[in-house]
């Protein structure tokens, strides 16, 4: 499996295009990850890809957890999500 798509500050369309390109190149499984306020963007991205593929994607494992990150010289616990997306086209 290739690297996960880490949803961050770019527009959602950038991540949608990245997933679509990976599926076009033959990847059958992509892991989408996001932290903090980008969790809702990750959900939007995966649902947009599902709609654009005509429903030819399905979700595998979805994990919600906390991740420790260094912010301003101190460790903070930040919510995170991983969404496994399979292309069945």
Domains, the chain, with CATH or none: 5-87 (3.30.110.20)
| Tens digit of each residue's pLDDT (9 = 90 or more) over 28-85 | 999 999 999 999 999 999 999 999 999 999 999 999 999 998 877 788 999 999 999 9
The model carries a pTM of: 0.90
Distance CA 24, CA 8 (A): 22
What pLDDT does 74 receive?
87
Q: Is the pLDDT of residue 1 over 70?
A: no
Q: Give the chain's mean pLDDT.
A: 95
Please give the pLDDT value at position 2.
Answer: 75
Give the HSE-up count for residue 88: Cα atoms under 13 Å, Cβ half-sphere: 10
């Amino acid at each position: 499996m290739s690297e996960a798509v880490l949803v961050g500050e770019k527009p959602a369309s950038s991540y949608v295009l990245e997933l679509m390109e990976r599926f076009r190149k033959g990847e059958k499984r992509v892991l989408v990850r996001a932290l903090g306020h980008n969790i809702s963007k990750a959900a939007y991205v995966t649902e947009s890809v599902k709609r654009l593929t005509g429903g030819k994607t399905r979700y595998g494992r979805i994990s919600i957890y906390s991740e420790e990150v260094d912010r301003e010289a101190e460790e903070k616990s930040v919510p995170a999500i991983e969404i496994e997306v399979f292309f069945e086209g």
